[in-house]
Chain A
């Protein structure tokens, strides 16, 4: 028998208590109303969700449904954006569902100091995304000239091709590291996400860098100028953001590196 009325508490973000307006009228995942849970100066933004949609088993299925995933990610992101506009905000990972409000209160209580640390770290800062692509045909070394018979020539050419390709990749990786170091030097913290598959990036050239940079509010211009300077020599960059500090709120590892 299924308990259709069972509900859970979906957690979007955590902030410090502030006099800014609350979440009245804000809608979250599956159109649910967003409300707050307050404990010792911390505020959790939550909504009540039906477990027949947000329980572990239904989620296992719906995470494979792109339409559902897109809508849910969009709704989650919208709540985080609205909240983050007013105050330093620690976003929570997608589909974090608690059994009830008491468990969320317990979280705020137990991790109180950790949340304060994270919120102090991201206050007054925003996250920028920088994706860099490299056109290997521009950077790839020219293949070596062949000598000897046709067979040897083919083998040599092939070996040279492999070598130059390997070399091109090695250079691309070094270039990516260089870009990342340059941007990190203007940022308060940085994080490298996994590079996106060409099928997902929408670009033919391979992505060599998928970076996230936490930048002080008054350093935005300096950072954006640094991004512009990265272009050239076969490298193209795309900028996204500013984002709420998604990539810098890990409670275990804060991502200073």
Chain B
């Protein structure tokens, strides 16, 4: 991986705000779920009807809240 962990994000992560690997995962998902070649059509088994970005955001936000000990 050549992804640099954001220094300030990492510092906040140490304070228990967000683990630094999550910070990097958010940047990765920006690209993997909103970028890349998109192939639609009958060839793909796929999950084109699922809003991947929304799901991943929800999952990530839930995990952050768990991490902070919020209900």
Contacts and interface: CB of A to CB of B under 8 A. Distances in A.
A129 B13 CA distance: 20
B3 to A, nearest CB: 6
A120 to B, nearest CB: 15
B27 A129 contact: yes
A202 interface: yes
B18 A202 contact: yes
A212 interface: yes
B59 A65 contact: yes
A210 interface: yes
Contacts, number: 175
Contact of A247 (B3, B9, B31, B65): B31
Interface residues of A, number: 65
Contacts of A202: 6, 8-9, 12-13, 17-18, 20, 22-23
Specify the main secondary structure of chain B where it touches its partner: helix
Contacts of B43: 98-99, 103, 106-107
A186 interface: no
The SS class assigned to the A binding surface is mixed
A55 B6 contact: no
A91 interface: yes
A247 B58 CA distance: 22
Contacts of B62: 66
24 contacts: A11-B39, A51-B45, A64-B55, A77-B28, A78-B1, A81-B2, A90-B36, A94-B33, A94-B36, A96-B39, A97-B45, A99-B43, A111-B39, A129-B27, A129-B31, A199-B18, A200-B60, A200-B61, A238-B7, A239-B4, A240-B27, A246-B36, A250-B38, A251-B38
Interface of A: 8, 11, 14, 51, 54-56, 59-60, 63-66, 69-70, 73-74, 76-78, 81, 90-99, 103, 106-107, 111, 118, 127, 129, 131, 191, 193-194, 196-197, 199-203, 210, 212, 236, 238-243, 246-252
